[in-house]
Amino acid sequence: MGETIGGGAKRFGFVSTRFAGTDGVSLEARKWADVLERNGHGCYWLAGKLDTDPQRSQLVPEAFFDFEENRQINALMFGRRSRGREISGRIHALKEIIKDALYAFRQRFGIDVLVAENCLTIPMHIPLGLALTEMIVETSIPTIAHHHDFYWERDRYTINAAPDYLQTAFPPHGHNIQHVVINTSAREQLARRTGLTSFVIPNVLDFSHPPPSVDEYSSSFRADIGLTPEDVLILQPTRIISRKGIEHAIELVRRLKDPKYKLVVSHEAGDEGTDYQEFVTEYAASLGVDMRIVAHRIAALRREHADQGKHYTLWDVYPHADLVTYPSLFEGFGNAFLEAVYFGKPLLVNRYSIYVRDIEPKGFQAVEMDGYVTRSVVEEVRRLLEDKTIRWRMVERNYALARQYYSYEVLERKLDYLLANIFGLNGD
């Protein structure tokens, strides 16, 4: 990062409902912090759930989206069109608690720039969004609002009793706020709906450094989930939610018509209910597809228990995959796509809108489907799995393109631009 940008080292305060585990927001925030810290800046964390450095973090349980009071507020705010005075009072009471914590966070760590990670974007925690918006206005602190997925992109927020709050804080207007989105469609929608301008920074990975390979610890993963050396591991590296289109991965494996093909799903449903997980489990069973949900083996960090055995990270799993499936119906960007490319894995991709608009034109190669698995898709997958030369050419090309467009170096240049907007070239 340019030495004169921002006039020297700054202290960045990252704020969200959660910085823990392997969700997309937590992962991207850590990548931003990696790039900022290796260029001399300091990064600090405030959220309702944390696995960050305690010496640089402030835990505020009330800021967690799953905090009981917030859960009750959400139940009364979404799926209906009006609210009573009592619920407004509860929202503002929780907002004040969180705002006090935000002021304390700024003072404790001497924060120069706030980075709001998706908490001014999707209204999973209305009091947090309101508290943060008010603090930004009251203090004029420079703020980067990093938007991953807006409420208008999620059906569950369509009917709501919070139009005033959504207009105020999701996202807010402010002369001291730089808005960042992760794809060009989001930039256009944000401008059309709110009049706000924004800057596109795609998700990234550190393509300048090769990925980890199988080591002594991770070498036992396939055996631990019951696979033999002859089995072909087809990895679905996502949560089990309906927009991931996992039924298409099941259909692919069915049509490959060989028991050696095993579909391995890395995560469970998460916070969006279990109906879809029940559906895909029953669907796979009805088609005779060997689908293994291995979430009980996946953790943010490696650990081993006497009764539970080894827990692996998702990055321990990728090197074992023979093919990655990514048949999503919708994605804000596509972390799993980048991860598959990073680990040199061929992949199947459903041509979701952001892929078509932002990723595909760069020249990446994948087995592509348009909403359903066809005979040609199945045959292309089979050919990839059986021909090492074709597979090698594909993954080498993809890695080179990803290094050009989605690397840490790209993120550095884009953060340079943001900081120049905030502080000028000399920090004035």
Residue-by-residue DSSP string for 250-288? HHHHHHH--TTEEEEE-----SS-SHHHHHHHHHHHHHT
**Is-contact 51 300, C-beta < 8 A?**
yes
Residue at 209 is within a domain: no
132: three-class secondary structure by DSSP: helix
1-5, 85-89, 142-146, 261-265: least confident range: 1-5
193 and 230 both lie in a single domain: no
Q: Is there a domain that residue 140 lies in?
A: yes
222 assigned to some structural domain: yes
Residue in the structure block whose two tokens are 């990925």: 211
147: confidence class by pLDDT, cuts 50, 70, 90: very high
| pLDDT exceeds cutoff 60 at 275 | yes
Per the document, the length of the chain is 428
Q: Which contiguous run of DSSP H or E holds residue 402?
A: helix 388-405
pLDDT for res 428:
47
1 has pLDDT over 90: no
Tens digit of pLDDT for each residue in 227-249? 999 999 999 999 999 999 999 99
pLDDT-based confidence at 426, cuts 50/70/90? low
Give the strand pairing for 303-305 and 309-311.
Answer: antiparallel
Give residue 247's domain range.
218-405
pLDDT given at position 60:
98
Tell me if 280 sits within 8 A of 287, measured CB to CB: no
**Residues 415, 348 share a domain:** no
Banded pLDDT at 66 (limits 50, 70, 90): very high
Same-domain pairing of 129 and 185: yes
Residue 220: CB atoms within 10 A of its CB come to 14
pLDDT at 2 over 80: no
Same domain membership, residue 414 and residue 395: no
Q: Are residues 142 and 19 in the same domain?
A: yes
DSSP string, 175-233: TTEEEEESSHHHHHHHHHHH----EE----B-TTSPPP---TTGGGHHHHTT--TT-EE
In a domain, 428, yes or no: no
Both tokens of 262, joined, read 């095993």
Taking the C-alpha atoms of residue 262 and residue 395, their distance in angstroms, rounded to an integer, is 21
Q: Are 192 and 293 members of one domain?
A: no
User: Which of 333, 52, 32, 21 is CA-nearest to residue 202?
Assistant: 333
Residue 26 placed within a domain:
yes
Residue 188 and residue 72 share a domain: yes
pLDDT at 5 over 60: no
Closest CA to 235 of 373, 327, 308: 327
3-state secondary structure of 146: strand
User: Is the same domain home to 93 and 181?
Assistant: yes
Say if CB 231 and CB 362 are below 8 A apart.
no
**Are residue 381 and residue 417 in the same domain, yes or no?**
no
Query: Total structural domains in the chain?
Result: 2
- CATH assignment of the domain containing 173: 3.40.50.2000
pLDDT band at 8 (very low <50, low <70, confident <90, very high): confident
Instruction: With respect to residue 212, please indicate whether it lies within any of the assigned structural domains.
Output: no
Q: Smallest Cα–Cα separation from 204: which of 66, 408, 3? A: 408
388 and 413 co-located in one domain: no
Stretch 248-264: mean pLDDT: 97
pLDDT value at position 93? Answer: 98
Q: Which pLDDT tens digit goes with each residue over 187-212?
A: 999 999 999 999 999 999 999 999 99
Across all residues in the chain, what is the average pLDDT? Answer: 94
Peptide bond into 163 cis (omega under 30): no
Q: Indicate whether 390 pLDDT > 50.
A: yes
Q: Is it the case that residue 48 has pLDDT exceeding 90?
A: yes
Task: For residues 69 and 423, give the distance between their C-alpha atoms in angstroms, rounded to a whole number.
Answer: 38
| Residue partners of 58: CB distance under 8 A and separation at least 6 | 44, 45, 46, 101, 104, 105, 108, 109
User: Are 101 and 66 a contacting pair, CB within 8 Å?
Assistant: no
The answer to whether residues 364 and 398 touch, using CB atoms and an 8 Å cutoff, is yes
Q: How is residue 21 annotated by DSSP?
A: T
Answer yes or no: is 130 within a domain. Answer: yes
DSSP 55: G
93-108 per-position pLDDT tens digit: 999 999 999 999 999 9
Q: 128, 110, 144, 132: which is closest to 28 by C-alpha?
A: 144
- 302-342 pLDDT, tens per residue? 898 877 789 999 999 999 999 999 999 988 888 899 999 99
- Asked whether residue 176 falls in the same domain as residue 235, the answer is no
Q: Two tokens at 295?
A: 């979430």
Percent of the chain residues past pLDDT 90, beyond the cut: 88
Identify the DSSP state of 153: G
Closest CA to 335 of 347, 133, 98: 347
For the cut 50, the answer to whether the pLDDT of residue 220 exceeds it is yes
pLDDT at 189: 96
Whether 323 and 392 share a structural domain: yes
CB 367 within 8 Å of CB 245: no
